[in-house]
Structures are given as C-alpha cells and as structure tokens.
C-alpha cells in the first residue's frame, strides 16, 4: 500500500466507522495523546523509567509499534481533513533535507564516535 492508498483507506474507514472526522482541534489533542503514549513506552524501554510489571522485549516492541501506528493514523486524519497530500509533502520534505543537510551529518565529528 502506498501513501496515497493509505490516505484513501483512512478516509474510507472514517466515513464507514467513524461517522465523520473529529475536528482539527480534537484530532490535534488526540495526536498529542498518542505521542504521549509512545513517549511513555520509550521512557521505560530506552530511558531511565521502569515498567511496573515484567514485560517481554517482544511485547515492548509490539506496544511501541502500535503507538507509532496510532500516531500515523491520527496524523493521516489531520492530513485528510486539511486536504494535504502526504505523498507530495513527504517527497518535498526529503528533498529539502537532502539539499539542506547533504554533508552536514557526514562532517559531524560527534557522529563518528561509534
Ligand atoms: Mg495509542
């Protein structure tokens, strides 16, 4: 599935099961909520916080993947309702980064420590 197909799939899902999109403000708050859920997992799996219960590495990875998907879903809703073509914008974004940073990271001595 490409990104155009993904945006259409989300749009179809919202219209079939979600009735309509939440408004932009609500979806932006939901996006923050999902980023918070992702951050919570990262703080416990990669940061200094610990999990309350024993959880396997596989479960952690699965939960992180789920939160990443939640973030992408809500972000896609926002793109759809704001009439933003993510295929075009992602291409534009990588082109911008390539022009701006074409040798920035390669000449960063801090990245050569590992
Ligand atoms: Mg979530």
Question: Which residues have a Cβ under 8 Å from the Cβ of 34 and sit 6 or more positions away?
Answer: 67, 70, 71, 74
Rounded Cα distance between 20 and 13, Å, is: 10
Average pLDDT (82-105) is 96
Say if residue 88's pLDDT is above 70. yes
Domain 3-112 has CATH 1.10.287.1080: yes
pLDDT in tens, 49-61: 999 999 999 999 9
| Ligand 1 center–CA 28 separation, angstroms | 14
Average pLDDT (21-44) is 98
Q: What is the phi/psi pair of residue 32, to 5°?
A: -60, -40
| Ligand 1 center–CA 41 separation, angstroms | 11
| Ligand 1 center–CA 67 separation, angstroms | 5
Average pLDDT (54-77) is 97
Angle at 3 between CA 90 and CA 14, to 5 degrees: 120
Say if residue 8's pLDDT is above 80. yes
């Amino acid at each position: 599935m490409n990104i155009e197909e993904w945006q259409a799939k989300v749009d179809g899902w919202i219209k079939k099961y979600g009735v309509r999109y939440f408004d932009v403000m609500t979806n932006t708050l939901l996006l923050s909520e999902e980023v918070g859920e992702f951050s919570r997992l990262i703080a416990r799996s990669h940061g200094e916080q610990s999990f309350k219960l024993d959880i396997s590495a596989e479960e952690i990875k699965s939960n992180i993947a789920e939160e990443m998907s939640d973030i992408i879903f809500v972000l896609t809703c926002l793109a759809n309702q704001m009439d933003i073509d993510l295929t075009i914008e992602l291409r534009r974004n990588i082109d911008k980064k390539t022009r701006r940073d074409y040798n920035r990271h390669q000449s960063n001595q801090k990245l050569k420590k590992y």
